[in-house]
Amino acid sequence: MVRERGREREGGRGRDGEREREGEGGREEGGGEGRESGREGERGEREREISVYAEEVVSEIKESRTQKKSERKVSSAVSNMSRRYDSRTTIFSPEGRLYQVEYAMEAIGNAGSAIGILAKDGVVLIGEKKVTSKLLQTSTSAEKMYKIDDHVACAVAGIMSDANILINTARVQAQRYTFMYQEPMPVEQLVQSLCDTKQGYTQFGGLRPFGVSFLFAGWDKNHGFQLYMSDPSGNYGGWKAAAVGANNQAAQSILKQDYKDDASREEVVELALKVLSKTMDSTSLTSEKLELAEVFLTPSGSVQYHVHSPESLTKLLVKHGVTQPAAETS
């Protein structure tokens, strides 16, 4: 009996140990299942965050595409609107612009530079020549400087065919005034008359503006030596020093710094050569690439218009140290 009771106790203890081991195994299995469920929850949260972020990115892309499309529509509408006024010289755009007049001014920006400087005893005009062919007859052709009357000359920047028409018109007006009143036409009156013609080509239909700007140099008994600048719009103004054509802004800045009111013609010539050498497109300044003219009074009191020859220009360039003399060829 004692042995049987001992066996029962040992069997009970064995069953209790098995139950404890089963409980521990169950707890281990439950812990593993909890960890797996936690991991799955974290994965789900990450997937939801990724999906939300992806949706936000997609919405932003759609919004940017929509915005770009709207911007394109607006820009195309503006360009279409501007084209309506692009070819019409007499109609203002909604921005208050005359596009053909602006295009004419752009054509001048591609032309050779022209500079005018007022001195106390005269006016100096200098211009950069674009045509420098050896076959060109320089003694009978001019590209930048033109004489309008005995007391008025001009420098040109822009389309030369347009300039020829306006120069001939100015010459006729000057001679007509002299014939009627038996005296030279005042310089400002001549400039104003020519600018009225230029302005008419921006106001009447079927016409285009003249693609040329002028620098007028002259003398009259009313105001003495004068320098005027006009543009394709018909606007003009009196200047002490002015520049038109390519790199005109750079030339204007140099003139502002170095111009002096009491400078003589010789000093003004040196300044003009200096400005042109610093602003022209060519690397070196030679007599073949420029034209230089002066308007001054002779000792007898008459107005003289003088254009420097290539030989005279070479001497001036060497004298003022702008360039070196060309080597002689055998």
- What predicted TM-score, i.e. pTM, was given to this entire model? 0.72
Judge whether residue 29 has pLDDT over 80: no
CA distances from 159 to 188, 280, 282, 323 (A): 23, 18, 20, 29
Better-predicted residue by pLDDT, 277 or 34: 277
Judge whether residue 32 has pLDDT over 70: no
pLDDT in tens, 223-232: 999 999 999 9
Predicted local distance difference test score (pLDDT) of residue 7:
53
Mean pLDDT, rounded, for 305-317: 92
Question: Where residue 324 falls among pLDDT bands split at 50, 70, 90?
Answer: very low
Mean pLDDT of the chain: 82
Predicted local distance difference test score (pLDDT) of residue 119:
96
Question: Where residue 296 falls among pLDDT bands split at 50, 70, 90?
Answer: very high
Question: Where residue 327 falls among pLDDT bands split at 50, 70, 90?
Answer: very low
pLDDT in tens, 73-111: 656 555 555 556 566 667 787 788 888 888 888 889 888
Exposure class string for 18-40: b at 16+ Cβ within 10 A, else e = eeeeeeeeeeeeeeeeeeeeeee
Instruction: Report the CATH superfamily, name and number, of domain 112-319.
Output: Aminohydrolase, N-terminal nucleophile (Ntn) domain (3.60.20.10)
Lowest mean pLDDT of 58-62, 115-119, 141-145, 320-324, name the range: 320-324
Question: Where residue 329 falls among pLDDT bands split at 50, 70, 90?
Answer: very low
Predicted local distance difference test score (pLDDT) of residue 14:
54
Predicted local distance difference test score (pLDDT) of residue 51:
76
Predicted local distance difference test score (pLDDT) of residue 307:
94
Q: What share of the chain is helix, strand, coil (3-state, %, to 5)?
A: 50, 20, 30
% pLDDT > 90, the chain = 49
Q: For residues 240 and 256, is the Cβ–Cβ distance under 8 A?
A: no
d(CA 216, CA 186): 12
Other beta carbons less than 10 A from residue 267's beta carbon = 16
Provide the residue ranges of all domains of the chain, joining segments of one domain with +.
1-86, 112-319
Predicted local distance difference test score (pLDDT) of residue 10:
54
Better-predicted residue by pLDDT, 131 or 301: 301
Q: At 33, phi and psi to the nearest 5?
A: -65, -35
pLDDT in tens, 237-291: 999 999 999 999 999 999 999 999 999 999 999 999 999 999 887 777 888 888 9
Predicted local distance difference test score (pLDDT) of residue 89:
66
pLDDT in tens, 146-165: 999 999 999 999 999 999 99
pLDDT in tens, 168-185: 999 999 999 999 999 999
Selection from 17-31, 105-119, 315-329 with the highest mean pLDDT: 105-119
Lowest mean pLDDT of 24-28, 140-144, 185-189, name the range: 24-28
Those residues whose C-beta lies under 8 Å from the C-beta of residue 11, and which sit 6 or more positions away, are none
Exposure class string for 108-145: b at 16+ Cβ within 10 A, else e = beebbbbbbbbbeebbbbbbbbbeeeeeeebeeebbbb
d(CA 155, CA 164): 12
Predicted local distance difference test score (pLDDT) of residue 325:
43
